[in-house]
Amino acid sequence: MRVHICAVGRLRTGPERALIDDYLTRFDRTGRALGLGPAAVAEVEDKKGGGMAAEAELLERAVPSGALICVLDERGRVMSSPEFADQIAGWRDGGRQDLAFVIGGADGIAPELRAKAGFSLSFGRMVWPHMLVRVMLSEQLYRAASILSGAPYHRV
């Protein structure tokens, strides 16, 4: 199952980019034998200032056709790492070919796009900068692959 991270904003070189690249490389390496990956990042930017609606349109174009859309949203489901791993395995085992995680901009994700999502995930009730959400999601993808492979990375 291919994994896509579709996010508003361009991430420049720096510590966040280095962390994301590292965790997604680890995810690809660990997930390959499990039928997970590769992982790709698609960044969109609304240069015309159209707000959430324009961002949603750009994000929808970045999502592959037929992909399950999982929005990162403070109103979403809060999960433990093992629960997240099981959810990903369930999508994979159910025949899902593409999984798209959608991360909005500063104002969040337009309600119309949220309504199209098959799943909504939250990293807690706090609001996180979208650049850090990318890092946290990348790490949790790697952790999920590690859990599913039985590796000792995750400790309960």
Summarize pLDDT for 66-115 with one digit per residue, the tens: 999 999 999 999 999 999 999 999 999 999 999 999 999 989 999 999 99
Predicted TM-score (pTM) of the model is 0.95
Beta strand 2-8 with 98-103 is parallel
pLDDT digits (tens, 9 = 90+) for 45-55: 998 889 999 99
Contact partners, residue 128, CB within 8 Å, separation at least 6: 136
State the pLDDT confidence band at 127, using cuts at 50, 70 and 90: confident
How far is Cα 40 from Cα 5, in angstroms, rounded to an integer? 6
Mean pLDDT of the chain: 95
pLDDT at residue 133 in the model? 95
Q: Is the peptide bond before 129 cis (omega within 30 degrees of 0)?
A: no
Q: What is the CATH number of domain 2-149?
A: 3.40.1280.10
pLDDT of 49 = 85
Tokens coding 26:
């680890």
Q: What angle do CA 41, 42, 43 make, to 5 degrees?
A: 115
Instruction: DSSP letter for 95, please.
Output: T
pLDDT recorded at residue 155: 63
Contacts of 52 (CB under 8 A, 6+ apart): 104, 105, 107, 108, 109, 110
* Burial of 127 from C-beta contacts in 10 A (0-12 / 13-18 / 19+): exposed
Which of these, 26, 125, 122, 124, lies nearest to 77 by C-alpha position? 122
Identify the band that residue 42 occupies on the pLDDT scale cut at 50, 70 and 90.
very high
